[in-house]
A = this chain, B = another copy of it.
Amino acid sequence: MSPVFPPLANKLGELKSSAIRDLLKLTSRADIIGLAGGLPDADLMPRERLAKAAEGALSDNSCLQYTESPGWPALRAVLAARESAKLGRTVPVEEVFVTHGSQQALSLLAEVLLDPGALVIVEDPAYVGALQVFRAAGARIVAVPLDREGMRTDLLAELLARGERPAFVHTVSNFHNPGGVTMSPARRRELAELADAHGFWVIEDDPYGELWFDNPAPAPVATYSRNVIRLSSSSKILSPALRVGWLVAPDPVCRAVELLKQGADLCGSALTHQIAAELLADEAWLTAHIDTVRAAYGARAKALVHAFRARFGDRATCTDASGGMFVWADFTDGTDTEALLPKALDAGVAYVPGSAFAVDGGYRNSMRMCFTTSEAATLEQAIDRLARAAQSTQL
């Protein structure tokens, strides 16, 4: 007889595990080439430089104590300097707040900006880690589709003209997860103008901006409006184990986040903050390191896209992979990617069906592929396997 425990909160009924996380548990077999995950390549992480910085940080006891809720001061200073360079204006340290990965920035901002029933506008397909948080906060969620230039700001303008009043609009402006696209400069300006005109926040979620392959990402949305809260992270350029993300926002937002951070987990780790500060401040080293990651990911992305287009021809289209970690593909021949998945796993390749990223259903003929953790030849083999699986569904 299993014991009868006291009840849990009723509201938990609304929560569910990420479909992608559940899928990843099924697809971790060694014989499967994983395009499903969304992890940076651990082999490209700067282990020796991290070890040296850890040794330095641990040469005295100052990094062992609790630190301030907004983060280790030296880390905030270097982040403020880097953001100032990106935005072309002086970002004061007070407007930089370090979080436990940028996922924590999303969850704290959901608390700071949303009353129950508030409207949140997201992109479709959407970053599921954000969707999960906004849903848990009791938000009403309306989606605006992506196209090759990013969020369809014309459709956002229509929503606003119909009287919709969002608390904020969430966008992954660069090298979208899962959509693979980057918002054009004109759309950035339009989004910023709408935010100013209608008085809503924009959360510009930018973990991939430095991982460009051929051309740097356009100037951030935040260069066009002060109503923009920028989020980024060291996870994709250094290591997720630092758990160093950050938000850059006007002072009232940062002070509200600070109150909530105290209750959420008091503060971050002075040790990993100090390590991150050292690596982010070493500009010459950092530029060379990120160049190495970009070159590796760029070669993998091109191999994946080339193989996909060669194998599928006009049966499917896929994004160009100009940066980041993901390629998005749409089958034009009616292939159902949920139905295809078991056959793909049998053939030895995993991906995430597009439906996992749909806000209100759809994307049944789409998929997300992550190219970061395999070499070009392996990615080509993955596409061969995928093509075999897709072939068999047609018979």
A-side interface residues, number (CB < 8 Å): 83
Residues of B contacting A15 with CB < 8 Å? 256, 259-260
Residues of the B chain whose Cβ atoms lie less than 8 Å from the Cβ of A162: none
A261-305: which have CB < 8 Å to B? 262-272
**B55 with A42: CB separation less than 8 A:** no
Q: Please name the residue on chain B nearest to A18 by beta carbon.
A: B262
Chain B residues whose C-beta falls within 8 Å of the C-beta of A195 in the assembled complex: 6
Q: How many copies altogether?
A: 2
Q: Whole-angstrom distance between the alpha carbons of A16 and B260 in the complex?
A: 9
Decide if A184 is an interface residue (CB 8 Å cutoff). no
Q: Are A227 and B6 in contact (CB under 8 A)?
A: yes
Q: Do A47 and B42 form a contact, CB below 8 Å, given A12-B112, A263-B133, A265-B104?
A: no
- Of chain B, the residue at the smallest CB distance from A135 is B263
In the assembled complex, A218 has its CB within 8 A of some CB on chain B? no
Answer yes or no: A388 CB below 8 A from chain B CBs. no
In contact, B262 and A17 (Cβ under 8 angstroms): yes
Residues on B with C-beta less than 8 A from A269 are 241-243, 269, 272
Checking B6, B100, B111, B167 against A265 with a beta-carbon cut-off of 8 angstroms, the contacting residue is B100
Minimum CB–CB distance from A196 to chain B (whole Å) comes to: 10
Could you tell me the distance in whole angstroms from the C-beta of A343 to the nearest C-beta in chain B? 29
In the complex, are the beta carbons of B107 and A264 less than 8 A apart? yes
**A155–chain B nearest beta-carbon distance, Å:** 21
Q: What is the CA–CA distance of A240 and B118 in the complex, to the nearest angstrom?
A: 36
Q: 8 Å CB contacts to B: which residues of A232-274?
A: 235, 239-243, 250, 252-253, 256, 258-260, 262-272
Assembled-state Cα–Cα distance A256/B136 (Å): 13
Write the nearest CB–CB distance from A267 to chain B, whole angstroms.
8
Nearest B-chain residue to A5, judged by Cβ = B250
Stretch binding the partner chain, chosen from A58-66, A185-193, A353-361: A58-66
What's the nearest-Cβ distance from chain B to residue A110, in Å?
9
Chain A residues 90 to 134 lying within 8 A of chain B, measured CB to CB, are: 99-101, 103-104, 107, 111-115, 118, 129, 132-133
11 extra interface residue pairs, beta carbon distance < 8 Å, beyond A9-B114, A103-B264: A5-B227, A6-B199, A6-B227, A8-B252, A15-B260, A51-B54, A54-B54, A100-B100, A103-B263, A136-B263, A241-B269
